[in-house]
Amino acid sequence: GAGVSQSPSNKVTEKGKDVELRCDPISGHTALYWYRQSLGQGLEFLIYFQGNSAPDKSGLPSDRFSAERTGGSVSTLTIQRTQQEDSAVYLCASSFRDWAGNEQFFGPGTRLTVL
């Protein structure tokens, strides 16, 4: 069956522009997570959705970052006024239920480069 998909796979943008990154989780997975992988910070958690709700947004690096999820499925991560330090690979993961020990299935990521 289909795994987690993300689009675009690569995005190059200019400093100050807004970008939208999309995640399509595995069908039926209620939990959705965003992570960021960068050279300086390694892999870090950004935000979690249960259904369409994000109970904890404390992982988002700044108020330029926002995310939403609609219909309990697709999620969009938006970065406004991008900065060079936002350059990273943004990973999305989904899980059938948010239970301790449940596997999170990862997408291939979106590589964001801010010039």
Cα–Cα distances (Å) from 41 to 73, 81, 101, in that order, read: 28, 21, 24
Minimum CB separation of residue 43 from other proteins in Å reads: 4
What's the N-to-C CA distance of the chain in angstroms?
37
User: Given the complex with other proteins, which of 14 and 27 has the nearer CB atom?
Assistant: 27
Minimum CB separation of residue 16 from other proteins in Å reads: 28
Hey, what are 103's tokens? 């596997």
Minimum CB separation of residue 84 from other proteins in Å reads: 22
User: Given the complex with other proteins, which of 7 and 50 has the nearer CB atom?
Assistant: 50
User: Which residues bind to other proteins, rule: CB under 8 A?
Assistant: 3-4, 31, 33, 35, 42-45, 48, 50, 55-56, 59, 91, 93, 95, 98-109
Cβ burial, residue 88 (10 Å; 0-12/13-18/19+): buried
Hey, what are 101's tokens? 């020990």
Minimum CB separation of residue 62 from other proteins in Å reads: 19
User: Given the complex with other proteins, which of 17 and 106 has the nearer CB atom?
Assistant: 106
Give the Cα separation of 80 and 50 in Å (integer): 24
